[in-house]
Amino acid sequence: MTTAGSPRRLSPARLRLGVNIDHVATIRNARGGAHPDPVRAAQIVAACGGDGITAHLREDRRHIRDEDLARIQAATKLPLNLEMAATEEMLAIALRHRPHAACIVPERREERTTEGGLDAAGQHNRLAPIVARLTDAGIRVSLFIAPEPRQIEAAMMLRAPVVELHTGEYAHACQDAGGGEQVAVELRRIADMAALAAKEGIEPHAGHGLTYDNVQPIAAIPQLAELNIGHYLIGEAIFTGLEHAVRHMRELMDDAR
Ligand code: PXP
């Protein structure tokens, strides 16, 4: 209850947690069998407070494989966010599976992970038909971009309803012993671009390299609607179990708002 004269503090919307289960499949694929199954991970995430499942079907199928997608979709009611490169092959797969969302990411075969943001500004003509065809199929398109004004402008031109701001530079700065100043710079960029996106009617998400130690300043950015977190959560799950890892990340995110 609010008392007269005391301003009512509106609680910000719940920040969604999308759990990227790719690296359960990485461990599975190391032995070429069926265990550990990313579907089981998706079911645990669904049971313990995750809001979505994120999976990246890479061109080389190094973790998630084609047949995993339908199995994940059948196993839980959580929305599936399919991370995909902007290729005809991936477009056809997305149109076949119709995930809730498709996050278009840059992909280089030799990279260990998605190292930079998508150059939405420089690739408008290549991306426009892919964004349009996904959108026409009822799939919510997100663009994984660096937190830069020109990329937000490009997302507007492409009519993307969502951008996911790449937090990799922020995460790197957090790892640097003397990175305090750079952490503040990177955090400011992400906060400013979340605000700009929201002002322009684009829903901002964020992800990459987020951990228990660095998630809270990001989770505190009020415009952000969703974080997608994978590698660290799956790594922690080895020690404490996936349920505990997801619940703890959830608590940290809630406490930051
Ligand atoms: N968001 C996107 C678009 C990604 O490509 C990735 C990595 O696959 C993540 C989030 C999750 O990053 P991390 O595994 O470092 O938490």
Q: In ligand 1, which atom is closest to the CA atom of 22?
A: 8
CATH of the domain at 153: 3.20.20.70
Alpha-carbon distance of 202 to 125, in angstroms, equals 20
Q: Hey, what are 109's tokens?
A: 């075969």
pLDDT at residue number 13: 80
What Å distances lie between residue 196 and 157, 193, 199, 221, 246, CA to CA? 14, 5, 5, 12, 29
Reported confidence tier of residue 69, pLDDT bands at 50, 70, 90 = very high
What Å distances lie between residue 97 and 51, 52, 57, 70, 139, CA to CA? 19, 16, 12, 7, 10
Which amino acid, one-letter code, is at 47? A
Q: 108: Cβ–Cβ under 8 A, 6 or more apart, which residues?
A: 115
Ligand 1 pocket: which of 231, 236, 242, 249 to mutate (most atoms within 8 A of CB): 231
Residue 88 lies in a domain: yes
Q: What is the pLDDT of residues 40-56, one digit of tens each?
A: 999 999 999 899 999 99
Q: Hey, what are 21's tokens?
A: 């289960």
Q: Hey, what are 102's tokens?
A: 């498709």
Q: What is the pLDDT of residues 145-172, one digit of tens each?
A: 999 999 999 999 999 999 999 999 999 9
Other beta carbons less than 10 A from residue 176's beta carbon: 11
Residue 3 lies in a domain: no
3-state secondary structure 54-89: EEECCCCCCCCCHHHHHHHHHHCCCCEEEEECCCHH
Q: 148: Cβ–Cβ under 8 A, 6 or more apart, which residues?
A: 117, 189, 193
Domain tally, the chain: 1
User: Is residue 208 lining ligand 1, measured as CB closer than 6 Å?
Assistant: yes
Low-confidence winner among 7-11, 180-184, 192-196 (lowest mean pLDDT): 7-11
User: Is residue 20 lining ligand 1, measured as CB closer than 6 Å?
Assistant: yes
pLDDT at residue number 146: 96
Angle between helix axes 88-97 and 124-136 (nearest 10 degrees) is 10
Ligand 1 centroid distance, CA of 10 (Å) = 30
Count of positions (residues) in the chain: 257
pTM greater than 0.85 (yes/no): yes
Residue 7 lies in a domain: no
User: Is residue 226 lining ligand 1, measured as CB closer than 6 Å?
Assistant: no
Which amino acid, one-letter code, is at 119? D
Alpha-carbon distance of 103 to 100, in angstroms, equals 10
Contact 208, 114 (CB under 8 A): yes
Residue 191 lies in a domain: yes
Residue 102 lies in a domain: yes
Alpha-carbon distance of 17 to 53, in angstroms, equals 9
Residue 87 lies in a domain: yes
* Mean pLDDT over the full length of the chain: 93
In terms of residue numbers, what domain contains 247?
16-256
Residue 169 lies in a domain: yes
Contact 227, 215 (CB under 8 A): yes
Q: Is the pLDDT of residue 9 over 60?
A: no
Residue 236 lies in a domain: yes
Reported confidence tier of residue 114, pLDDT bands at 50, 70, 90 = low
